[in-house]
Structure 1
Amino acid sequence: MDTWTTHGLPVRVHPFVTALCAVAFLAVTGCGAGSTASLRDSGSGAGVTVYTADGLGEWYTAKFAEFERKTGIKVAPPVKAGSGEIVDRLQRERSAPTADVLITLPPFVQRAAESDLLAEYSVPGREFVPEGLRDPRQRFTAVLDNFFCLVYNTRQATPPPNGWSDLLDPRYKGKLQYSTPGQAGDGTAMLLLLQHVLGPQGARDYLAKLESSNAGPIGATSPLQPKVNNGDLLVANSDTQLSLAAISTISPETMLFFPAGPDGKKATMSIPHFAGLVKGAPHAAAGRRLLEFLLSEEVQRTATEAYAHPVRIDVPGDGVAVEQLDHLLVGVDVWRPDWTAILAALAADVAAYRKAVGR
């Protein structure tokens, strides 16, 4: 597996809060959304049910409302859970699916595909998505790019943590929490990144030591940043999309960081939001329309409203929030895993992790 270094667009350095507030204003006023004549028709009138990992709440609200205006197709309020939990629910409903579209993080979308829970569909525009971000069998494609990070309380975590080793400091005992690997996408990413940085055994040894400070297992990531903001926690795991959205709205006392390894190098990993059509979807035609909409050039241009990068190579990743994220990523190694290989080892990796931490 290769390690890539991200080089964003030329960066104009903005004060962090000012930059995020500016983007929040754009999101509220709806700037950046264009019209898509090809998506306009009478619509089928059928609704669409989306099962999704946590995050993207405000962006979903805005984009799904726009989709309904353009097509006449309603989108029900998304069913949200941890990335693994939402795929488990699809598995339980296999004989009578209620979801039409799945949006989740890796490697759980790959697990859904390998479990035959997703239908093949070549979404228009997928040819503009890099090969590593789309399934060769056309069962899923990324719709937004996203990256693992940690967050800390800027008032109480002083000096701020910089590397993984800092989190072993006794001051974090009971004040640190991360979402559970194997259940949550961000928690799984944390385990995988540690294995990448420290090696599999090194990661297990580290997490065994960290367990004495862990406030306890939790199946989803989204509840953690509010706890960090109010001081119940000092540090938690997250992803850039989730954390930047929270910093600009409900969690102004938090800041994200990319932890350094033993060699002093900071590293993260790409954990895109992938989307696919559920096999046997009750409203498959409407689900296909929604996938087309999310990957359309017009919607991809609004990725900045979600504090994310577009995945289409023909859509520039510009806007204040994307520039700020690119600035934060300068000098950070971005790992883009082979998710097929990750999935093959995932069950064993999670089992070894649970044994190491005594669960």
Structure 2
Amino acid sequence: MSHRRAATAGTAAALAALTLAACGNVEPPAGAAAGENGIVITYNSPTEWGNYGAVLDAFTERTGIEAPNDPKNSGQALAALQAEKGAPVADVAYTGIAFAGQLTDAGVLQDYVPEGAEQVPDDLRDPDGAWTAVHTGTIAFIVNEDHLDGAPVPQGWADLLDPAYEGKVGYLDPTQAAVGYSAATAVNLALGGDLDDWGPGLDYLGDLKDNGASTAAQTATAKVAQGEIPILIDTDFNGYRLRDEGADVSVVIPREGSLQIPYIVGLVEGAPNADNGRRLLDFYFSEEGQGLFAAGYMRPVVGEMPDEVADKVLPPQDYERARTVDYAEQGQRQQEFIGLYQDEVGF
């Protein structure tokens, strides 16, 4: 493969426009009538993502405010917010931190610091209050051992290129989903690249494609449980959730290294149910809200992971392999990466 180290501005802009156009037609959740009392509309809150279903159910139980889940990914949420800017549908948005700069640059969030969010570290919140990290996760392999056809559970990035795993690996589309972009960032860093040099990661993802890897736009954990994607590169918390639901899965932090991912929330500019949106954000950062995220193995940003949850996850030494990066720079480099990925790997 030949690798350019930077996409042209025109290519990046065109790809961004195509991505947004493709994502902008996602239907809003049922019951999302603007200004309707007793409801709060969230974007990118799939029921099967971590513990999001339980978080929103608990909020409704406490307040009587309906809070339907929404299946968008981070890129689709951004695209919908931009398309609806003149007449917003959503009240609260949730994305990976790599999208934070795009959300603020697009002017689709308004400043609001939820109660309790003052405790969040400064580097995990917008200085003006447009967004705040609500929990973190770590890029991991979620492995359904029953569908490996006798192959061992892979322990590192290099293992996934073995012909024994041909057609058995999947990850979310890194041009749309925050977890997909984070997975690409993780493998690039693990193999010697950095945010200025995507070469090692692009080479790897090209080789992974040649070994039959697949990509999906939406959360794909159900496909792991069914054996359709026996090895999913995703967040650790989704793997632990599947295990608790009875799937025979292992969670692996790759031996060469991984990446920690903060996820952010914010109040939508012009939100039709803004007061309900503020109440939901306050709930996210309350002791109960952070505890509910933690119960789904989503590491809270306020307080520690409860002992009863920490005892069920991989030991701390495994997580020492998960790096942090300059997340603002990661976000700034996203369109460059998208151009390179589409040119050199694209599915």
2:329 aligned with 1:341: yes
Tell me the equivalent position of 1:290: 280
Q: Which sections of structure 1, spanning at least 5 residues, go unmatched?
A: 1-43, 262-266
The residue identity in structure 2 corresponding to 1:277 is L
Tell me which stretches of 4 or more aligned residues in structure 1 moved more than 4 Å.
55-58
C-alpha deviation, 1:166, in angstroms: 0.9
Tell me the equivalent position of 1:317: 305
The answer (yes or no) to whether the contact 1:94–1:117 under 8 Å persists in 2 is: yes
Q: Secondary structure at the match of 1:178?
A: strand
Tell me the equivalent position of 2:298: 308
C-alpha deviation, 1:303, in angstroms: 3.2
Q: Secondary structure at the match of 1:107?
A: helix
- For 1:329 and 1:81, the matched residues in 2 are separated by 33
Q: What are the superposed Cα offsets for residues 154-178 of structure 1, whole Å, 9 maximum, x if unpaired? A: 1343222111111111122222221
Q: Percent identity?
A: 29
2:263 aligned with 1:273: yes
Tell me the equivalent position of 2:229: 233
C-alpha deviation, 1:56, in angstroms: 5.4
Q: What are the superposed Cα offsets for residues 70-108 of structure 1, whole Å, 9 maximum, x if unpaired? A: 334x13312221221121111111111100000122212
Tell me the equivalent position of 2:58: 66
Tell me the equivalent position of 2:3: none
The answer (yes or no) to whether the contact 2:168–2:213 under 8 Å persists in 1 is: yes
- For 1:246 and 1:180, the matched residues in 2 are separated by 21
- For 1:240 and 1:181, the matched residues in 2 are separated by 17
Tell me the equivalent position of 1:186: 179
2:250 aligned with 1:255: yes
Q: What are the superposed Cα offsets for residues 260-285 of structure 1, whole Å, 9 maximum, x if unpaired? A: 22xxxxx2222123110001100111
Aligned pairs, number: 305
* Cα 1:66/1:211, change in 2 over 3 Å: closer
Q: What are the superposed Cα offsets for residues 198-235 of structure 1, whole Å, 9 maximum, x if unpaired? A: 21211111111111123433212x22x33333333332
Q: Which sections of structure 2, spanning at least 5 residues, go unmatched?
A: 1-35
The answer (yes or no) to whether the contact 1:106–1:274 under 8 Å persists in 2 is: yes
C-alpha deviation, 1:58, in angstroms: 7.7
- For 2:110 and 2:319, the matched residues in 1 are separated by 39
Q: Secondary structure at the match of 1:347?
A: helix
Match of 1:104 among 86, 89, 95: 95
- For 1:293 and 1:173, the matched residues in 2 are separated by 44
- For 2:293 and 2:46, the matched residues in 1 are separated by 17
- For 1:107 and 1:240, the matched residues in 2 are separated by 18
2:342 aligned with 1:354: yes
TM-score of the pair, normalised by structure 1: 0.78
Tell me the equivalent position of 1:29: none
* Cα 1:153/1:302, change in 2 over 3 Å: closer
